[in-house]
Structure 1
Protein backbone atom coordinates (compact mmCIF):
# COMPACT_ATOMS: atom_id res chain seq x y z
CA UNK A 1 0.00 0.00 0.00
CA UNK A 2 2.76 2.44 0.92
CA UNK A 3 4.61 1.64 -2.28
CA UNK A 4 1.67 2.74 -4.44
CA UNK A 5 1.28 5.96 -2.44
CA UNK A 6 4.99 6.84 -2.57
CA UNK A 7 5.27 6.07 -6.30
CA UNK A 8 2.23 8.24 -7.05
CA UNK A 9 3.56 11.11 -4.92
CA UNK A 10 6.97 10.95 -6.61
CA UNK A 11 5.35 10.94 -10.05
CA UNK A 12 3.31 14.01 -9.07
CA UNK A 13 6.41 15.83 -7.79
CA UNK A 14 8.55 15.02 -10.84
CA UNK A 15 7.59 18.14 -12.89
CA UNK A 16 8.25 20.40 -9.90
CA UNK A 17 11.67 18.83 -9.35
CA UNK A 18 12.45 19.15 -13.06
CA UNK A 19 11.52 22.86 -12.94
CA UNK A 20 13.74 23.44 -9.90
CA UNK A 21 16.59 21.60 -11.64
CA UNK A 22 16.08 23.71 -14.77
CA UNK A 23 16.22 26.91 -12.71
CA UNK A 24 19.38 25.73 -10.96
CA UNK A 25 21.01 24.96 -14.31
CA UNK A 26 20.12 28.49 -15.43
CA UNK A 27 22.04 29.68 -12.34
CA UNK A 28 18.96 31.18 -10.73
CA UNK A 29 17.80 30.62 -7.19
CA UNK A 30 14.61 28.56 -7.80
CA UNK A 31 12.79 29.53 -4.62
CA UNK A 32 12.01 33.13 -5.60
CA UNK A 33 8.30 34.00 -5.78
CA UNK A 34 8.62 35.59 -9.26
CA UNK A 35 9.57 32.22 -10.77
CA UNK A 36 6.48 30.51 -9.35
CA UNK A 37 3.64 32.57 -10.81
CA UNK A 38 0.17 31.12 -11.40
CA UNK A 39 0.68 29.94 -14.97
CA UNK A 40 3.82 27.94 -14.10
CA UNK A 41 2.30 26.37 -10.99
CA UNK A 42 -0.87 25.46 -12.91
CA UNK A 43 1.11 23.83 -15.73
CA UNK A 44 3.30 21.90 -13.30
CA UNK A 45 0.27 20.74 -11.31
CA UNK A 46 -1.53 19.51 -14.44
CA UNK A 47 1.62 17.73 -15.64
CA UNK A 48 2.07 16.14 -12.21
CA UNK A 49 -1.54 14.98 -12.09
CA UNK A 50 -1.27 13.47 -15.58
CA UNK A 51 1.92 11.63 -14.60
CA UNK A 52 0.36 10.38 -11.36
CA UNK A 53 -2.78 9.15 -13.15
CA UNK A 54 -0.68 7.44 -15.84
CA UNK A 55 1.41 5.77 -13.14
CA UNK A 56 -1.66 4.55 -11.25
CA UNK A 57 -3.19 3.16 -14.45
CA UNK A 58 0.07 1.43 -15.34
CA UNK A 59 0.29 -0.07 -11.86
CA UNK A 60 -3.36 -1.18 -11.97
CA UNK A 61 -3.23 -2.84 -15.39
CA UNK A 62 0.27 -4.33 -15.37
CA UNK A 63 0.47 -8.09 -15.19
CA UNK A 64 2.12 -9.61 -12.18
CA UNK A 65 4.18 -12.51 -13.40
CA UNK A 66 5.92 -13.12 -10.12
CA UNK A 67 3.14 -14.80 -8.15
CA UNK A 68 3.12 -15.56 -4.43
CA UNK A 69 6.20 -16.51 -2.42
CA UNK A 70 6.25 -20.04 -1.03
CA UNK A 71 8.84 -20.28 1.78
CA UNK A 72 11.32 -23.13 2.13
CA UNK A 73 9.73 -26.30 3.49
CA UNK A 74 10.36 -30.02 3.89
CA UNK A 75 8.77 -32.52 1.48
CA UNK A 76 9.43 -36.26 1.83
CA UNK A 77 12.38 -35.59 4.12
CA UNK A 78 14.07 -33.19 1.68
CA UNK A 79 14.41 -29.43 1.99
CA UNK A 80 12.68 -27.60 -0.86
CA UNK A 81 14.01 -24.04 -1.28
CA UNK A 82 11.65 -21.09 -1.28
CA UNK A 83 10.42 -19.77 -4.62
CA UNK A 84 7.84 -17.56 -6.28
CA UNK A 85 4.94 -19.55 -7.79
Structure 2
Protein backbone atom coordinates (compact mmCIF):
# COMPACT_ATOMS: atom_id res chain seq x y z
CA UNK A 1 0.00 0.00 0.00
CA UNK A 2 2.85 2.37 0.78
CA UNK A 3 4.41 1.96 -2.64
CA UNK A 4 1.11 2.68 -4.38
CA UNK A 5 0.55 5.82 -2.30
CA UNK A 6 4.08 7.05 -2.92
CA UNK A 7 3.78 6.33 -6.64
CA UNK A 8 0.53 8.30 -6.77
CA UNK A 9 1.96 11.26 -4.90
CA UNK A 10 5.02 11.40 -7.13
CA UNK A 11 2.86 11.19 -10.26
CA UNK A 12 0.56 13.97 -9.00
CA UNK A 13 3.27 16.41 -7.93
CA UNK A 14 5.67 15.82 -10.85
CA UNK A 15 4.11 18.49 -13.14
CA UNK A 16 4.15 21.05 -10.32
CA UNK A 17 7.80 20.38 -9.58
CA UNK A 18 8.79 20.44 -13.27
CA UNK A 19 6.96 23.74 -13.79
CA UNK A 20 8.51 25.22 -10.64
CA UNK A 21 12.01 24.32 -11.79
CA UNK A 22 11.31 25.65 -15.29
CA UNK A 23 9.97 28.94 -13.95
CA UNK A 24 12.85 29.39 -11.52
CA UNK A 25 15.35 28.91 -14.34
CA UNK A 26 13.53 31.23 -16.76
CA UNK A 27 12.52 34.07 -14.42
CA UNK A 28 15.39 34.27 -11.97
CA UNK A 29 14.09 36.14 -8.91
CA UNK A 30 10.86 37.48 -10.45
CA UNK A 31 7.45 36.63 -9.07
CA UNK A 32 6.36 33.41 -10.74
CA UNK A 33 3.52 32.15 -8.51
CA UNK A 34 1.12 34.80 -9.78
CA UNK A 35 1.12 33.50 -13.37
CA UNK A 36 1.15 29.80 -12.54
CA UNK A 37 -1.48 27.74 -14.43
CA UNK A 38 -2.73 25.88 -11.34
CA UNK A 39 -5.73 24.29 -13.05
CA UNK A 40 -3.65 22.88 -15.91
CA UNK A 41 -0.98 21.54 -13.55
CA UNK A 42 -3.64 19.91 -11.37
CA UNK A 43 -5.31 18.32 -14.40
CA UNK A 44 -2.00 16.95 -15.67
CA UNK A 45 -1.20 15.64 -12.18
CA UNK A 46 -4.55 13.86 -11.96
CA UNK A 47 -4.06 12.28 -15.39
CA UNK A 48 -0.59 11.05 -14.41
CA UNK A 49 -1.95 9.68 -11.13
CA UNK A 50 -4.74 7.85 -12.98
CA UNK A 51 -2.23 6.38 -15.42
CA UNK A 52 -0.06 5.22 -12.53
CA UNK A 53 -3.08 3.41 -11.02
CA UNK A 54 -3.77 1.73 -14.36
CA UNK A 55 -0.12 0.67 -14.67
CA UNK A 56 -0.14 -0.63 -11.10
CA UNK A 57 -3.26 -2.69 -11.80
CA UNK A 58 -1.94 -4.10 -15.06
CA UNK A 59 1.60 -4.99 -14.06
CA UNK A 60 1.39 -6.07 -10.40
CA UNK A 61 -0.61 -8.51 -8.34
CA UNK A 62 -1.87 -11.99 -8.95
CA UNK A 63 -3.71 -12.94 -12.12
CA UNK A 64 -7.47 -13.10 -11.75
CA UNK A 65 -7.83 -16.68 -12.99
CA UNK A 66 -6.17 -18.31 -9.97
CA UNK A 67 -8.54 -19.42 -7.18
CA UNK A 68 -8.02 -17.66 -3.84
CA UNK A 69 -8.35 -19.43 -0.48
CA UNK A 70 -9.01 -16.86 2.27
CA UNK A 71 -7.35 -17.08 5.70
CA UNK A 72 -9.01 -19.65 7.95
CA UNK A 73 -8.54 -21.61 11.17
CA UNK A 74 -7.22 -25.17 11.13
CA UNK A 75 -6.82 -26.85 14.55
CA UNK A 76 -6.71 -23.45 16.27
CA UNK A 77 -3.98 -22.08 13.99
CA UNK A 78 -4.59 -19.30 11.47
CA UNK A 79 -3.63 -20.46 7.99
CA UNK A 80 -2.85 -17.44 5.78
CA UNK A 81 -4.74 -16.86 2.55
CA UNK A 82 -3.13 -18.04 -0.67
CA UNK A 83 -3.65 -18.39 -4.37
CA UNK A 84 -4.07 -21.90 -5.69
CA UNK A 85 -3.03 -23.46 -8.96
CA UNK A 86 -4.91 -22.46 -12.12
CA UNK A 87 -7.74 -24.79 -13.00
Shared fold, TM over 0.5:
yes
Structure 1 residue runs without a partner (length 5+): 65-85
In 2, the alpha carbon distance for the partners of 1:34 and 1:63 equals 41
In 2, the alpha carbon distance for the partners of 1:16 and 1:30 equals 18
In 2, the alpha carbon distance for the partners of 1:14 and 1:6 equals 12
RMSD: 2.2
The structure in which a higher percent of residues are helix is 1
3-state SS of the aligned residue for 1:34? coil
Does the aligned pair in 1 maintain the 2:23–2:32 contact within 8 Å? no
Does the aligned pair in 2 maintain the 1:20–1:30 contact within 8 Å? no
Q: 1:35 to 1:6 in 2, by over 3 A?
A: same
The CA deviation string for residues 33-69 of structure 1, in whole angstroms up to 9 with x for no partner, is 4133xxx1000000000000001100111156xxxxx
Structure 2 residue runs without a partner (length 5+): 62-87
Q: Tell me which stretches of 4 or more aligned residues in structure 1 moved more than 6 Å.
A: none
